[in-house]
Structure 1
Amino acid sequence: MRNILPLRSALLLVLIASVAVAKGRDVNVRSIYLHGSQNERVEQVYVTPDVTTVLRFEQPCVAAGTKMVGWEGRFEPVACAGKSVLIVPLQRFEPEDRFILAVMLADGTEVPFTLLGATRKAGEWPDQQVNVFIQPDTREALQAQLKETRERERLLEESAWRRYQEDTADHAIAKLLVSGDIKQTSLVQWEQRVLKGRSARIIARVYGGKRKAAVLFTVTNRDPSKSWSLAEARLRTMRPGEDQRPPFLFGEERPFALRADRDELAPGETGTLAVVVDRNAFETESGLVKTLALEIYRQDGLLDAHVILDRRLVRE
C-alpha cells in the first residue's frame, strides 16, 4: 500500500472546522384549521430548545388571557406580539412531557394547545411557525390550503425524481458502506483519521478502488442537549496550489452518491454516512483535476469536516 501511496497526508487531509458558511434551510411552517368555539380538538405543537415557535393568528392575541401551565423553568414567558404568540423552550423535554397553552384572542375566543417535545418522527418535527385559522372557509384559509396542496405536490414530485436519480450503482455501494457490508465491494481502505470537534467525534475512513473512491464517516454526537444532523455535503474541484483549508467556494461542483443510516443523531448516539465518488468526477471540461474537496455541513450550517481526495484513489 505504501508503494502506491508514499505520502499518506498527500491523499487525505481531514480537519474539523468552525467555518460559518451560509446554508439555507427549509423553515417548518404549517397551518391548522379550527372551527371557532365549536372546535373540540386540542391541537398539538412540537417545540425544541433554541428554536422559537410562532403561533400566527388572524386577529391579535390578548396577553392577559394567554397562559401556560407549568412553564416556569421550562420556557421563557409566553409573549403576545400583535397576531403572534412566541414560545421559547429552555430545555429538551421527555416524551411524556405535556404542557397546556391557552391563547385568548381579541374577540374572546380561547384556543387551547398541547406543547410536546419535537422528535424526528413523521409529523413531529419542530414547529417554527404554525398558522392558525379559526374559520377554515375564509378566503385567507382557503388560499393557505391551496398553497399547501401545491407544495405537497411539488415535494412529492421532487421526492420521486430524487429516488429515480439515486437508483445508481454508486448509491448501492454507499448503502453497503453504511450497513457495514464493505466486503461486498471492491474498495480498499487507504486512510483513517479520528477527529474531535466541539459537538461531534468523527472517524473518517477513505477507500479507493477500481474507478471508485469513497469516504465513510462515523459520527458520534457529543453535545449533551442538541441533536446532530447532516445539512449538506459538497464535492468541488480544487485548483493546483489552492489552499487546502476550507471553505472551498470557487471550485466546480462534482457529482457523488450519499447514503446515511439515519436522519438525526440524538445526544450520545453514533451513526454513519458514506460518500461514493466515481472517477468521472475528476474529469471536467477543462481536463483532469488532481484533487477534490469533500465538505460535510451540519444542521446549523457550520462546516464539521472536510476531506481532500486525490485522483490516485480511483485506479483504472
Structure 2
Amino acid sequence: MWNALPFRSALLVVLVASVAAARGRDVNVRSAYIHGRQDERVVRLYVTPEAATVLRFQQPCVAAGTWLLGWEGRFEPVACAGKRVLVEPLQPLEPEERFILRVLLADGTEVPLTLVGATKEEGRWPDQQVNVFIEPETREALQEQLKNARKREDGLLEDVRRFHRQDTPDHALAKLLASGAIKQTPFKRWRKRVFKGEGADTTVQIYSGKAKAAVLFTVTNRDPSKPWRLLETRLVTIRPGEDPEPYVFGDTKPFALRSDREEIAPGETGNVAVVVDGRAFRTDTGSARLLLEIYREDGWRQAYVLLDERLARE
C-alpha cells in the first residue's frame, strides 16, 4: 500500500485494498412454473461455483429419490432438507455442458431440471434461489406471478429513470475518460499510482478540472479464470480524521459513472471513470472531503480514493 503524501502536497490519498470487508448484494430470487406432463417439464437452473443454488418446493422432497447425474467431482453432494434442495458446483460449467437433476417430492412427483452454467447474459444470471411451483393455478402461485409481474414493471420504470438521470454532460465526460479520449476533456491529471491487489492490478489516475474532479480506475484482471465485474461505486463524505478502513457511513453524493466494458476477461484491462461536480464537496457546514470507492462483483472493495475540493478548481 502507498503511504500518504506529506501534508503540504496531500490533496488526496489513494489506497487499494487487497483484503477488505465484503459488501452484501441482493439475492437473485426467481420463480419457475412447471406445466404439462411430467416428461414435458423443462426447467433450467443457472449455476456457478461462486454461489449455491437453493430450490424451494411446495412440499417436502425425498432424499432417497433425489439425485444429480454425473455429479462426482463436479458438484457437492445434492442436499435435500425439508422443502429445499441445495445445489453447489465445484467448478464452472462449460457452455455446452448439461447436468440432469431429478427431485422426488413427498407425493411421488418427479421433477426433472437441467443445470447449465450461468453467464452475464440477461436471464442467465446465477440462480441463488428458485421457487418451484408444480401447480401454477394455485392461489399461492398466482400471487407469486402477480408479485413478479409488478416487480418487472417497477424494474422497467427504474431503468427509464436511470437512463434519464445518466443523460448529462458529466456522463459524457466520464464516457470520454473511460474510452481513453482524455485529451477531449478539460481535465488535467493530478496524480497517478499503480497498485498490486488480490486478483487484479489497479492504476488510479486523478484529474483536476474547472469546478469538477475526475478519477479513472484502470483494472487489469490477473485471475486465470474469472472475469472482473464492477458491483457498486460509492461516493460519500468523510469527516476529518476518520479512518476509511473498513467502511464509512457518510452522506452519499451524486456522481457520473461510465465504464468501457461490462466485464474484464482474465488477462485483459478495462476502465471505470467517475466525474464529480464541485458542488458535491459542499455541506451544510462548509465543505468536506469525499471518499470514492469501487467494489468488484464478489463484494470486495477493489480501490478507494480520498478527494479534496481543491481538485475541483474554479
* 1:96-152 residue CA offsets vs partner (Å, 9 max, x unmatched): 111111112222222111111111101110000111111110111101101101111
SS at match of 2:40: coil
Deviation of the 1:312 alpha carbon? 2.1
Deviation of the 1:56 alpha carbon? 1.2
Partner of 1:20: 21
SS at match of 2:64: helix
Task: Map residues 22-37 of structure 1 onto 2, 5 A cutoff.
Answer: 23-35=23-35, 37=37
Looking at structure 1, the residues matched to 281 and 134 of structure 2 have their Cα atoms a distance apart, in angstroms, of 56
* Residue 44 of structure 2 corresponds to residue 44 of structure 1: yes
Percent identity, aligned pairs only, is 64
Deviation of the 1:262 alpha carbon? 2.8
* Residue 284 of structure 2 corresponds to residue 285 of structure 1: yes
Q: Any conservation in 2 of the 1:60–1:83 contact (CA below 8 Å)?
A: yes
Looking at structure 2, the residues matched to 125 and 161 of structure 1 have their Cα atoms a distance apart, in angstroms, of 23
Distance 1:8 1:208, change over 3 A: farther
Looking at structure 1, the residues matched to 31 and 251 of structure 2 have their Cα atoms a distance apart, in angstroms, of 40
Deviation of the 1:13 alpha carbon? 1.9
SS at match of 1:63: strand
Distance 1:220 1:106, change over 3 A: same
Deviation of the 1:264 alpha carbon? 3.0
SS at match of 1:213: strand
Looking at structure 2, the residues matched to 234 and 8 of structure 1 have their Cα atoms a distance apart, in angstroms, of 27
Deviation of the 1:47 alpha carbon? 0.4
The AA in structure 2 aligned to 1:123 is G
- When structure 1 is superposed on structure 2, of 291-300 and 74-83 the one drifting more is 291-300
Q: Any conservation in 1 of the 2:21–2:246 contact (CA below 8 Å)?
A: no
How big is the alpha-carbon RMSD for the aligned residues of Structure 1 and Structure 2?
Answer: 2.1
Q: Any conservation in 2 of the 1:292–1:309 contact (CA below 8 Å)?
A: yes
Deviation of the 1:156 alpha carbon? 1.1
Looking at structure 2, the residues matched to 310 and 64 of structure 1 have their Cα atoms a distance apart, in angstroms, of 63
Q: Any conservation in 2 of the 1:66–1:104 contact (CA below 8 Å)?
A: yes
Distance 1:116 1:268, change over 3 A: farther
* Residue 174 of structure 2 corresponds to residue 210 of structure 1: no
* Residue 274 of structure 2 corresponds to residue 275 of structure 1: yes
Deviation of the 1:174 alpha carbon? 0.8
Q: Flag structure 1 segments of 5+ consecutive residues without an equivalent.
A: none
Partner of 1:57: 57
* Residue 87 of structure 2 corresponds to residue 87 of structure 1: yes
Q: Any conservation in 2 of the 1:295–1:305 contact (CA below 8 Å)?
A: yes
TM-score with structure 1 setting the length: 0.91
Distance 1:133 1:182, change over 3 A: same
Question: Runs in 1 of length 4+ with deviation above 4 angstroms?
Answer: 5-9
- When structure 1 is superposed on structure 2, of 291-300 and 275-284 the one drifting more is 291-300
Deviation of the 1:9 alpha carbon? 5.6
Looking at structure 2, the residues matched to 220 and 245 of structure 1 have their Cα atoms a distance apart, in angstroms, of 24
Looking at structure 1, the residues matched to 237 and 61 of structure 2 have their Cα atoms a distance apart, in angstroms, of 53
Q: Flag structure 2 segments of 5+ consecutive residues without an equivalent.
A: none
Partner of 2:201: 201
Looking at structure 1, the residues matched to 187 and 149 of structure 2 have their Cα atoms a distance apart, in angstroms, of 45
The AA in structure 2 aligned to 1:121 is E
How many residue pairs are counted as aligned between the two chains? 309
Deviation of the 1:248 alpha carbon? 5.1
Q: Any conservation in 2 of the 1:36–1:134 contact (CA below 8 Å)?
A: no
Distance 1:246 1:6, change over 3 A: closer
Looking at structure 2, the residues matched to 269 and 224 of structure 1 have their Cα atoms a distance apart, in angstroms, of 11
Looking at structure 2, the residues matched to 84 and 239 of structure 1 have their Cα atoms a distance apart, in angstroms, of 46
Partner of 2:174: 174
Looking at structure 1, the residues matched to 154 and 24 of structure 2 have their Cα atoms a distance apart, in angstroms, of 18
SS at match of 1:122: coil
Deviation of the 1:263 alpha carbon? 3.1
Looking at structure 1, the residues matched to 91 and 53 of structure 2 have their Cα atoms a distance apart, in angstroms, of 14
Partner of 1:305: 303
Looking at structure 1, the residues matched to 13 and 41 of structure 2 have their Cα atoms a distance apart, in angstroms, of 55
The AA in structure 1 aligned to 2:176 is L
Looking at structure 2, the residues matched to 262 and 182 of structure 1 have their Cα atoms a distance apart, in angstroms, of 17
Partner of 2:251: 252
